[in-house]
Amino acid sequence: MARGNQGEPTDWVTRAADDAIRHARDVYGEDLGDHVITCASGASPSGPIHLGNLREFLTVHFVAEEIKRRGIAARHLHSWDDYDRFRKVPAGIDPSFADHIGRPLSSVPDPWDCHQSWADHFKAPLQAALAELGVAMEEMSQTERYRAGTYRDQILTAVRRRDDIEQVMAKYRTKQLEGATSAAPESPEEAAALADSVANDDESGLTGLGATDDLARFPFKPYCRECGRDTTIITSYDEDTTDLAYTCQVCAYQGVTNLTTDNEGKLVWKVDWPMRWSVEGVDFEPGGVDHATPGSSYTVGKELVKRVYGGRAPSFVGYSFVGAGGQVKMSSSRGGVPTASDALQILEAPILRWLYVRRQPKQAFNVDFGAEVVRLYDEWDALAKKSADPERSDAQTLAFERASSTSSAGRLPTPAVVVPFRLLSSVADVTAGSAELISTIIGNVGYEHASVADLEPRLGKAMTWTSEYVPTEDRTTVRETPDADRLGALNEDEELWLRQLLDRMPDDLHLDDTTALIYGVPKLARGLGLDDAPTDQVKQDQKDFFRLLYNLLVDADRGPRLPTLFLALGAEKIRTLLTPPS
């Protein structure tokens, strides 16, 4: 470990990796034996996996990469919490899906019918995005694990030790219990939250009707054998036979599941998490800051893993929320939140990675899909230039390196010829979406390149950004048809300019000639040559002439540079728009 060296820049990744390694050495010994340092992430595929959720994956990814970089064996283990219950039907989904509430996400059908299940439908796009981002991880499905009985011993342990578990949980349970429902809500939000929690109680049937306190706080919850929902109330548990009897609140089924022989349920979340730490040997696992607050899952889990499983909680960092655009907080149950795939439509993979690595996890930030994108690319390009010089190595260039390559994917794709994003998007703005044409114009304005491929992946992202995210009022709209009124009302000068322009404009346009021609037309009209220096009169004429052209071409007084606009539209289109319809 090259720590403490003056020359080695450090960042939050370095420190998190230090912690993970220290954790592993404390548990497995200085030489680690054959233990592979395990960095774990977890996510519930209950809806679109948005840019806030992405932080879970990337935080773990960067730390695992750093450990590997030091030559220590490490893995990124990801748990899909697809055995969690389906909680509510998101807006925009067929309300009849309410029927599935309480079933595991992996047992709810895909509303769009393109995947095996609800869970798979939301996993798939993220898996694709992670592949593009160069994130390689071992994935496991909690549904498979639970159904295979992998956790049977741990479940039996938890049930046997449920009094200890309850003690720990109770320690963090403050007052409330009643109180809350009778107290007058102080705000609409609070009222809504209350209503929500009451509704949840109703549907989950946890209010312990008729059940003893002991059974009401049971750490294991069975899914109903008949209807598959977790709307079960435990009615008895036999310590010797491990028979667990329950009644389903929804379908009224009364059944018995045996914890030693059947695999029909799961541990409650606050026990499930520490259980997995101990089973998988997790050395590092981040969580949203909400998981880190006192009484929440991490603090409770930390005690439980020690007391119940004799394990040690992984090193932890809490990360803050990632917003999009102007919004600060996203909810996965609300439709329309941007996902990693959305961001990758407009950002090169290393840039998206960079957004997540350059800030401390605790710092909240936004991924902006608006005008900030241009600046982001500019900053990135400047950083790339700086990073090329080893003498200037610092925390920023370290972030650049972390963003740019991974141990499994190598250097992630960037364009062979780097053209400012601003330029690509403004050319794309007026070229009706043809990559070939954009490439030609880009070449003409000084960015030599062999083919369209040399501009990718940036070109495609610039085209998408321009067409999907630039507001219409900021875009250039080329006229479909000539402006007959304006063309019919030309004064003498204007008529002369247009005629001379069209007479001299070739069918095949080149940038330099076109530039000379456009600036030269007003000179010709004053009896000068194309190459003569302009007089003040000509300069004024140029302004008027340019405005006329913008009026006729794009219905505005100003616009993109005319020579490039001409090349983008092509001679034929220009001719059409500058000639009165007959």
Q: Which of residues 339-398 bind RNA (CB under 7 A)?
A: 358-360, 362-366, 371-372, 375, 378-379, 395-396, 398
- How far does the chain reach from its first CA to its final CA, in angstroms? 79
Q: Does 182 bind RNA (CB under 7 A)?
A: no
Task: Tell me the C-alpha distance between 145 and 456, whole Å.
Answer: 41
Task: Tell me the C-alpha distance between 80 and 270, whole Å.
Answer: 16
Choose, by CB under 7 A, the member of 118, 298, 421, 550 that binds RNA. 550
- Nearest-5° Cα angle at 497, 559 to 581: 80
Interface with RNA in residues 98-157 (CB under 7 A)? none
Peptide bond between residue 294 and the one before it cis (omega within 30 degrees of 0): no
Query: Is residue 508 within 8 Å of residue 574, measured between CB atoms?
Result: no
Query: Is residue 350 within 8 Å of residue 403, measured between CB atoms?
Result: yes
- Shortest Å distance, C-beta 43 to RNA: 12
When the beta carbons of 2 and 489 are compared against RNA, the nearer one is: 2
Tokens of 429: 């703005």
When the beta carbons of 294 and 390 are compared against RNA, the nearer one is: 294
Choose, by CB under 7 A, the member of 116, 167, 197, 260 that binds RNA. 197
Given the rule CB under 7 A, which of 196-204, 279-287, 342-350, 404-412 is the region that contacts RNA?
A: 196-204
Query: Is residue 181 within 8 Å of residue 205, measured between CB atoms?
Result: no
- Shortest Å distance, C-beta 113 to RNA: 26
Interface with RNA in residues 458-487 (CB under 7 A)? 474
Choose, by CB under 7 A, the member of 231, 406, 559, 574 that binds RNA. 559
Interface with RNA in residues 269-308 (CB under 7 A)? 269-270, 272, 289-290, 292-297
Closest CA to 160 of 230, 242, 222, 234: 242
Choose, by CB under 7 A, the member of 122, 309, 377, 519 that binds RNA. 519
- Nearest-5° Cα angle at 30, 6 to 283: 85
Choose, by CB under 7 A, the member of 287, 322, 520, 553 that binds RNA. 520
Choose, by CB under 7 A, the member of 26, 128, 138, 172 that binds RNA. 172
DSSP state of 391: G
Q: Does 169 bind RNA (CB under 7 A)?
A: yes
Q: Which helix (H) or strand (E) holds 245?
A: strand 243-248
φ/ψ of residue 282, rounded to 5: -75, 130
- Shortest Å distance, C-beta 7 to RNA: 10
Task: Tell me the C-alpha distance between 355 and 403, whole Å.
Answer: 9
When the beta carbons of 232 and 339 are compared against RNA, the nearer one is: 232
Given the rule CB under 7 A, which of 65-73, 254-262, 501-509, 526-534 is the region that contacts RNA?
A: 526-534
CA distance readout (Å), 448 to 348, 417, 429? 21, 8, 20
Q: Which helix (H) or strand (E) holds 74?
A: strand 74-80
Given the rule CB under 7 A, which of 10-18, 26-34, 108-116, 452-460 is the region that contacts RNA?
A: 10-18
Interface with RNA in residues 216-235 (CB under 7 A)? 217, 221
Task: Tell me the C-alpha distance between 152 and 157, whole Å.
Answer: 9
When the beta carbons of 316 and 550 are compared against RNA, the nearer one is: 550
> Which residue in this structure is represented by tokens 């006729």?
552
- Shortest Å distance, C-beta 250 to RNA: 15
- Shortest Å distance, C-beta 582 to RNA: 28
Query: Is residue 86 within 8 Å of residue 102, measured between CB atoms?
Result: yes
When the beta carbons of 53 and 129 are compared against RNA, the nearer one is: 53
- Shortest Å distance, C-beta 216 to RNA: 8
- Shortest Å distance, C-beta 405 to RNA: 17
